[in-house]
Structure 1
């Protein structure tokens, strides 16, 4: 039995949310010197990988690629891949914070604007008092500040580096600096820090249950309509995709 489902050439492991958390827990417990890069593979990243060789290389070298979105899961099932469930960056982050609170993990948060970054840290300290916030910085920095941020992360040596710089920039940033960050695991999480901070409202549970969070976001953020156009394009291309002969 094949343990991955290929979506437009990207292999997604057939694992659940709980299995993903278990994998990352084991990484934290090991003394690996190499950073473990988690890529939350949404339709936008999969589509970009079709023409962006550098991004495709980043995804191919990642330690774990998760099925970020119901579109990925549905396409896999229609093509016989049968991914068990979606493992979104936001949901995975919440699970990691819960587990980290029990296991006393450390986190460094990079991204969002300064007020959101501050508020996010406050919420996490309140809701998950047993984990360690090893540091944080907003996502607006110049080259000189970037060097100081990297040095701060290196000194903190967090279990998790959470990067909310937007996809695929977060993935590129992690990959560019992976040899010097001195974190055990790094993961791009899109706008998840805004959701934790409460500056962006997440879809109610019923919308999540029926997999229409994208519609909720579109209603609340109409400016996203151009970005949302990639979803039907992805569905058509992914369903018609044929492996290239090498």
Structure 2
């Protein structure tokens, strides 16, 4: 189904202003923790976002949901409400585990942002204007340089680092609107970036907006990624924990058990609801 859906979205009969609502309706999803999460292959996921980026008048906000973000979402109603208007993509082994236990099978693909965003730039053959907001000034410059080397046919625009104050915000938004951005990357950390996007970024600022967390740190080389073999067995979280134990110990050593409890709670709730419906 996902492959057919991806091909369907290249059909020119779709009106640009109806693209988002149509995609939201027909794209395969899993409902986990009360949140619709898109269940797409790599090709279908890239095809969807590339279509938004190419469509005048389109506007989509994209978020990646992992185990830590689920924990945040379940205690932060404002963040949860923001996500309901986004294209939410599954990120990490925790989401596959939750899907397998609650829904019976894992997601079609692990569309984590660290891999998905660079893959999107490669996938989009037509030149696009890519805006970046967030991170420290040196980190942002490093990410822009790496992206330009990775996909030189796109134009990468460093709009602002992550250390601006409220007085600068109107200037930044005006700069965004003037730049005619196709894809905007906002790296401020979850849930701040999603709330900031919801409050400030409008269709005139960008066609597609991503909340990308620490992506600029990874791309710039400031924060090294796990070796390929650790990523292959899906233990990148363990590598990050060993690199930054003082910052990440709570997220993983406490957060993972909390996440598993949430999974079991939602599984039992779904089982009770199913039994009640059959009575």
The normalised TM-score by structure 2 is: 0.81
Match of 1:18 among 34, 43, 47: 43
Q: Which structure would you say has the larger Rg? A: 2
2:33 is the alignment partner of 1:8: yes
- The answer to which of 6-15 and 156-165 deviates more is 6-15
Match of 2:118 among 85, 94, 97: 94
Residue matched to 1:231? 256
In 2, the alpha carbon distance for the partners of 1:232 and 1:51 equals 15
Match of 2:135 among 112, 116, 119: 112
2:155 is the alignment partner of 1:135: no
Point out the structure with the larger helix share: 2
Structure 1 residue 178, shift from structure 2 partner:
2.7
2:107 is the alignment partner of 1:83: yes
Residue matched to 2:15? none
In 2, the alpha carbon distance for the partners of 1:181 and 1:238 equals 39
Structure 1 residue 181, shift from structure 2 partner:
5.1
Query: 8 Å contact 2:187–2:212 — kept in the other structure?
Result: yes
Residue matched to 1:124? 147
In 1, the alpha carbon distance for the partners of 2:220 and 2:199 equals 28
Residue matched to 1:206? 229
In 2, the alpha carbon distance for the partners of 1:208 and 1:233 equals 23
- The answer to which of 143-152 and 213-222 deviates more is 143-152
Query: Relative contact order: is structure 1 or structure 2 higher (C-alpha 8 Å, sep ≥ 6)?
Result: 1
In 2, the alpha carbon distance for the partners of 1:49 and 1:167 equals 10
In 2, the alpha carbon distance for the partners of 1:180 and 1:158 equals 10
Alignment RMSD: 1.9
Match of 1:45 among 55, 66, 69: 69
Query: 8 Å contact 2:173–2:205 — kept in the other structure?
Result: no
2:242 is the alignment partner of 1:219: yes
Query: 8 Å contact 1:111–1:117 — kept in the other structure?
Result: yes
The normalised TM-score by structure 1 is: 0.91
Query: 8 Å contact 1:10–1:46 — kept in the other structure?
Result: no
Residue matched to 1:153? 176
Unpaired runs of 5+ residues, structure 1, are none
SS in 2 for 1:61: coil
